[in-house]
Amino acid sequence: MLKEQNYDRELYNEDLAPTTENQRTWTTYHYVALWLGMSICIPTFMLASGLIAGGMSWKQAIFTIFLGNVIVLIPMILNGHPGTKYGINFPVFARLAFGVKGANIPAIMRAIVACGWFGIQTWIGGEALNAFISEVVPGWKGFSLGIWISFIVFWILNMWIVLKGMEMVKRFESFSAPILIIASLALLAWAIFAAKGLGNLLSQPSKFKTFGEFFKFFIPSLTGVIGFWATLSLNIPDFTRFAKDQKSQAVGQAIGLPLSMTFFSFIGVVVASASAVVYGQAIWDPVTLISKFNNPIVALVSAFVVSIVTLTTNIAANVVSPAYDFTNLFPKILNFKKGAIVTGIIGIIIMPWKLLSDYSTYIFSWLNGYAAFLGPIAGILIVDYYLIRNTNIDVSELFRLNGRYSYSNGYNSRAIIALVIGILVGIIGRVIPQLKTLYDYAWFVGFFISGIIYYILMVGEKKIEEINMSKEDAYAKAGETY
């Protein structure tokens, strides 16, 4: 814990404090399990199936998803490093580049996206729970308020688990991982059996006749895939701060993220293709697929598994981060648990059922839209930590209003300028058709433009040598945090 004389109450509470050695219990398995729990989820299924519905062949869809996840793995591991090295979470890490008060800007941007995701996942989980109850309670299907009651019950279940704390999150993810693998393989087996083999499933050609047609759809799709985990690439320190060492978080993520996403995406592609063979149309909503099962036992088990799958992702990916982010905004008033409740409330207000209206809204409006905002943040954080600071941080100064990272009244204007420019360049293609390519590449455009501008502004203001701490100084300061 930080010594009392080293922090200001407006920037500190126990949930924001660096983790202690005793809290660092996460091993490689825990990070693999974390990514299995987050990746094997209904939105992953929807993403893969949505690409098929958009015209891709299964090979094109799987390649797009694999490539996107390999790309996003890079900032995931890079931003995970400070969490493990210094035991700090995302909003505290953001103070380094944006200032001790300015960090609230990227933190709230990330939190709002998480609230949207929380709402989406909770709605999906509510649908699954509603399907489960419909198989158990006769007449429930005809009850008009059934879906809304299921939605609220599932919301409460999410809140209950998160309010038990991060240790409960770790246990729940670790326990669920094997169940998710078994359930995924069972779903794959159903698809193969129902369609009488893989031949029928994987023989469906791409709808794109030329490379140009494919590429036009591929680029925004790739940006959407990257946007899928662009959120976690920012707040991954929220989890890596509990790692035993850097190897645990880096290897665990390298194994867990791309492999599990590609694995379950393949299952999504096969199941969507199977549904086209069996039911005459590609069904990209698993809950809709469950409703078509004639066997009540299969439908019952499927609905139960979908509920568990949604819980594992929702809790880890969509509640932990905004809970910390809202806590960072009002440390005196909010803590992790209260921040989680705020997340849950906003997740309802955001009306997630509208975001899931069709695959184009889901992939191109939702995923691409927020990727344009989060790419610039990732660029600034990585450039600051690796190129400006050389990974050396004075942790105690992150909790001081008038310290090294206060800049001007707590805000680093250079980071804010770089952020705004990166966002504007990315989203301008949304309103100017001739510049649509910029929007299609929004995450990449924002990442590199904001990162480069931030580096130029920081070096122009001061020499890097003056900004940087020596390694010896950094290690001495880091020792004060425990």
Domain at 285, CATH number: 1.10.4160.10
**What's the confidence (pLDDT) of residue 405?**
93
**Residue 468: pLDDT band with limits 50, 70, 90:** low
Question: How many domains in the chain?
Answer: 1
Distance CA 287, CA 267 (A): 15
> What pLDDT sits at residue 477?
54
Element (H, E) at 464: helix 464-467
Q: Is the pLDDT of residue 69 over 70?
A: yes
H helix runs in 383-441, sequence order: 413-431, 436-440
Instruction: Give the residue, 167 or 248, on which the prediction is more confident.
Output: 248
| pLDDT (average), residues 295-299 | 70
Give the model's pLDDT for residue 445. Answer: 92
Tens digit of each residue's pLDDT (9 = 90 or more) over 134-157? 877 878 888 888 888 988 998 898
9-31 tens-digit pLDDT:
788 888 889 999 899 999 999 99
473 pLDDT more than 60: no
Measured CA to CA, the distance from residue 11 to residue 104 in angstroms comes to: 11
Q: Has residue 429 been placed in a domain?
A: no
Q: What pLDDT does residue 94 have?
A: 96
**DSSP annotation string for 286-312:** HHHHHHT-S-HHHHHHHHHHHHHHHHH
pLDDT at 391: 94
* Domain-located, residue 318: yes
Higher pLDDT, 248 or 55: 248
Q: Per the domain annotation, does 417 fall within a domain? A: no
* pLDDT at residue number 466: 54
Kindly report the backbone phi and psi dihedral angles of residue 194, in degrees, each rounded to the nearest multiple of 5, phi listed first: -65, -35
At residue 126, the pLDDT reads 85
Q: What is the mean pLDDT of residues 435-458?
A: 91
Determine the structural domain holding residue 19 and report its residue range: 10-359
Give the whole-number percent of the chain exceeding pLDDT 90. Answer: 31
Name which residue leads in pLDDT, 386 or 158: 386
- Which whole-number Å values give the CA distances from 85 to 1, 16, 41, 244, in the listed order? 15, 15, 30, 10
67 pLDDT exceeds 90?
yes
105-116 tens-digit pLDDT: 999 988 888 887
462 vs 68: CA distance, rounded Å: 36
Residue 368 reports pLDDT greater than 80: no
Residue 481 has pLDDT above 50, yes or no: no
In tens, the pLDDT along 371-429 reads: 788 899 999 999 999 999 999 999 999 999 998 999 999 999 999 999 999 999 988 98
Domain assignment present for residue 321? The answer is yes
Q: How high is the pLDDT of residue 6?
A: 60
Candidate ranges 38-42, 202-206, 402-406; pick with highest mean pLDDT:
402-406
In-domain check, residue 116? yes
* Residue 219 predicted with pLDDT over 60: yes
Distances (CA, A) of 224 to 38, 108, 182, 312, 393: 17, 21, 28, 22, 33
Is residue 474 predicted with pLDDT exceeding 70? no
Checking if the pLDDT of 446 tops 70, the result is yes
The string of pLDDT tens digits covering residues 253-291 is 999 999 989 988 888 778 877 877 788 776 766 767 766
The residue with greater pLDDT, 33 or 457, is 457
The mean per-residue pLDDT over the stretch 149-169 comes to 83
Distance CA 191, CA 309 (A): 19
Residue 398 lies in a domain: no
pLDDT (average), residues 186-200: 77
The pLDDT value recorded for residue 460 is 72
Whether 452 maps to a domain, the answer reads no
Q: Is residue 35 part of a domain?
A: yes
Work out the pLDDT band at 451, boundaries 50, 70, 90.
very high
Q: Give the per-residue pLDDT at 359.
A: 46
Min mean pLDDT across 125-129, 357-361, 388-392 is at 357-361
